[in-house]
């Protein structure tokens, strides 16, 4: 058993540290540290910076632009990124579409789309869920009917994250209604600027515009935008979701969030001493700190066992469930730490042109909105309930 980093690994850590120090704008780090919202430009800027260094897509093979890191290196990169409060780009193109194209796409598709993902030419949205197909994703109805060299798409997608910025969207569509529901699904790449595509925001409970509905009315999509075989989209989506789950465990985010929580709890006072030293609050924090330390090792164990392949499905479900619970607990504690100052909510204050002094402590404003926003963690990317179903199948075999 060798769970320590090698000297070579530690050299790599220095390299990452230096890169972050030189290239991460302090203004952005400050926003990330304090759970503030990033603008599209800020996200694109950091995307470009990482791409320039070749560090944008750690889980892609080297020949397609991945950095060729070992598990240790990936873990180190993750740690340093969180310590430096660099943005976590959840680029759908990098995280999800890339691996699918690499494994199932044609040579032409890879040549065309992969570089555009990396250089930011395309911002990809994800079109999986529908109003009637959430946890039961295979019940999706959005239809693509072949018409000559095109598919004609009609239907509706929902929960499309940041699709307001996207110019492309990858969708699961139904190309056949005759088979059982998991069959007859295909994986299609759709230009958002096509005639008949409409995006409508879904405002969230914390006032944020993060997700969207996307409507398709007689949208024509060239057949070369089909990924893999017609009717095999479900297989590709399942493959993709194991990648999504890994990311969603979000240990880097959790570690960064815990740092922010520690800062808040060391600043807030209770009964004449810092809240972090309060027996009850301190115990809540210690519990989640321990959970997080355990989870880091679980994560490495799973990655080490998986080797080069994609994540084993039950293990990645465990990471998703527990990782998201930990993140929710951390933001919940931060919310509790604020006392009365959890309540003020000035939505304009999240914009870049707000210049008034904050209400209460400077760290307060984003906390409660972030807590409410983080309720999504156990819902999207396969809810905790769905993940438990996956684990059940694997361990019980019933």
Partner 1 sequence: MDFSHPHHRQLMADNLGRYLSQHYPIEERHRISQSVAGRSPQHWAALAEMGMIGALFAERDGGFGGDAFDIAVVFEQLGRALVVEPFLGTLLAGTAVALAGGHDERLGEVIAGNTIISFAADESMSRFDHAAISTQANSRDGAWTVTGAKAVVSHLEASDLIVVSARTCVSPGDERIGLFLVASDAVGVTIRGYPLIDGGRAGELTLNDAPAIALANDGLAILELATARGILALCWEAIGIMDRLKHDTLEYLRTRRQFGAPIGKFQALQHRMATVSLEIEQARSSAINAAVAFGDDRVCRERAISAAKFTIGRIGTLVAEEAIQMHGGIGMTWELPLSHYAKRLIMIGHQLGDEDHHLERFMKLRAAAPA
Positions 286 through 325 that interact with partner 1 (CB under 8 A): 286-287, 289-291, 293-298, 300-301, 303-305, 318, 321-322
How does strand 150-157 pair with strand 209-222?
antiparallel
Q: What is the size of the binding site for a second copy (CB under 8 A)?
A: 3
| Closest to partner 1 by CB, 104 or 128 | 128
Question: Which class for 22: exposed (0-12), middle (13-18), buried (19 or more C-beta within 10 A)?
Answer: exposed
Among 71, 89, 152, 223, binds partner 1 (CB under 8 A): 71
Q: Considering the rule CB under 8 A, would residue 280 count as an interface residue with a second copy?
A: yes
Q: What is the CA radius of gyration of the chain?
A: 22
Q: Considering the rule CB under 8 A, would residue 207 count as an interface residue with partner 1?
A: yes
Q: Could you count the other beta carbons within 10 Å of the beta carbon of residue 108?
A: 9
Among 164, 206, 246, 324, binds partner 1 (CB under 8 A): 206
Could you tell me the two tokens for 161? 């994250």
| Closest to partner 1 by CB, 89 or 204 | 204
Q: What is the size of the binding site for partner 1 (CB under 8 A)?
A: 92
Least distance from C-beta 342 to partner 1, angstroms?
5
Alpha-carbon distances of 178 from 148, 156, 174, 184, 185, rounded to whole Å: 21, 20, 10, 7, 11
Catalytic residue among 79, 210, 244, 315: 244
CB 180 within 8 A of CB 231: no
Distance CA 279, CA 287 (A): 12
Q: Considering the rule CB under 8 A, would residue 379 count as an interface residue with partner 1?
A: yes
Task: Please give the residues from 327 up to 366 whose contact with partner 1 meets the rule CB under 8 A.
Answer: 332, 335-336, 338-347, 359-361
Unique residue bearing structure tokens 């993750």: 78
Q: Quote the crossing angle between the two packed helices 384-396 and 313-337, to the nearest 10°.
A: 140
| Closest to a second copy by CB, 218 or 277 | 277
Binding-residue pattern over the window 74 to 93 for partner 1, x denoting contact by CB under 8 A: -x------------------
Could you tell me the two tokens for 336? 């509790």
211 binds, among partner 1, a second copy, none (CB under 5 to 8 A by kind): partner 1
Among 279, 307, 309, 397, binds a second copy (CB under 8 A): 279
| Closest to a second copy by CB, 283 or 396 | 283
The residues pairing with 146 across neighbouring beta strands, listed in sequence order, are 151
Query: What torsion do the CA atoms of 180, 184, 187, 188 make, to the nearest 10 degrees?
Result: -140
Pick the stretch among 16-24, 30-38, 229-237, 368-376 that binds partner 1 (CB under 8 A). Answer: 368-376
* Ramachandran area for residue 144 (φ above 0: left; ψ -120 to 50: alpha; else beta): beta
Least distance from C-beta 51 to partner 1, angstroms?
26
Task: Please give the residues from 157 up to 196 whose contact with partner 1 meets the rule CB under 8 A.
Answer: 158-159
Distance CA 361, CA 334 (A): 13
Among 1, 7, 108, 283, binds a second copy (CB under 8 A): 283
72 binds, among a second copy, partner 1, none (CB under 5 to 8 A by kind): partner 1
Q: Considering the rule CB under 8 A, would residue 280 count as an interface residue with partner 1?
A: yes
Alpha-carbon distances of 299 from 188, 251, 309, rounded to whole Å: 32, 8, 15
Q: Considering the rule CB under 8 A, would residue 8 count as an interface residue with partner 1?
A: no
Pick the stretch among 44-52, 56-64, 277-285, 316-324 that binds a second copy (CB under 8 A). Answer: 277-285
15 is catalytic: no
| Closest to a second copy by CB, 52 or 136 | 136
Distance CA 380, CA 398 (A): 26
How does strand 124-127 pair with strand 168-174?
parallel
Helix (H) or strand (E) holding 317: helix 313-337
108 binds, among a second copy, partner 1, none (CB under 5 to 8 A by kind): none
351 binds, among partner 1, a second copy, none (CB under 5 to 8 A by kind): none
Pick the stretch among 36-44, 48-56, 176-184, 275-283 that binds a second copy (CB under 8 A). Answer: 275-283
The residues pairing with 169 across neighbouring beta strands, listed in sequence order, are 125, 190
CB 183 within 8 A of CB 234: yes
Give contact residues for a second copy (rule: CB under 8 A).
279-280, 283
Could you list the active site residues? 244
């Amino acid at each position: 058993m060798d769970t320590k980093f090698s000297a070579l690994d530690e050299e790599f850590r220095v390299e990452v540290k230096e890169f972050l120090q030189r290239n991460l704008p302090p203004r952005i780090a400050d926003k990330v540290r304090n759970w503030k919202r990033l603008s599209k430009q800020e996200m694109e800027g950091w995307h470009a910076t990482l791409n320039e260094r070749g560090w944008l897509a750690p889980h892609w093979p080297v020949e397609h632009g991945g950095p060729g890191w070992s598990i240790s290196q990936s873990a180190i990169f993750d740690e340093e990124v969180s310590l430096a409060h660099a943005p976590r780009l959840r680029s759908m193109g990098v995280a999800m579409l890339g691996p699918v194209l690499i494994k199932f796409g044609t040579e032409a598709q890879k040549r065309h789309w992969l570089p555009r993902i990396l250089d930011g030419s395309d911002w990809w949205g994800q079109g999986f869920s529908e109003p009637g197909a959430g946890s039961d994703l295979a019940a999706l109805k959005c239809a693509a009917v072949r018409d000559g060299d095109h598919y004609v798409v009609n239907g509706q997608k929902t929960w499309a994250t940041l699709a307001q910025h996207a110019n492309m969207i990858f969708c699961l569509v139904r190309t056949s209604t005759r088979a059982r529901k998991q069959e007859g699904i295909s994986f299609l790449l759709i230009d958002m600027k096509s005639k008949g595509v409409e995006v409508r925001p879904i405002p969230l409970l914390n006032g944020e515009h993060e997700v969207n509905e996307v409507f398709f009315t007689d949208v024509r999509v060239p057949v070369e935008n089909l990924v893999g075989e017609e009717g095999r989209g479900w297989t590709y989506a399942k493959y993709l979701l194991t990648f999504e789950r890994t990311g969603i465990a979000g240990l880097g985010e959790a570690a960064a969030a815990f740092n922010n929580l520690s800062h808040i709890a060391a600043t807030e006072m209770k009964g004449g001493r810092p809240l972090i030293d309060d027996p009850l609050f301190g115990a809540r924090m210690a519990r989640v700190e321990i959970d997080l330390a355990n989870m880091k090792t679980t994560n490495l164990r799973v990655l080490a066992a998986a080797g080069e392949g994609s994540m084993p499905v039950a293990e990645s479900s465990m990471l998703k469930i527990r990782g998201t619970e930990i993140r929710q607990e951390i933001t919940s504690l931060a919310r509790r730490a604020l006392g009365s100052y959890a309540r003020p909510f000035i939505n304009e204050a999240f914009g870049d042109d707000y210049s008034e002094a904050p209400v209460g402590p400077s760290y307060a404003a984003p906390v409660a909105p972030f807590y409410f926003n983080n309720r999504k963690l156990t819902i999207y990317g396969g809810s905790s309930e769905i993940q438990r179903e996956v684990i059940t199948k694997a361990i019980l075999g019933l």
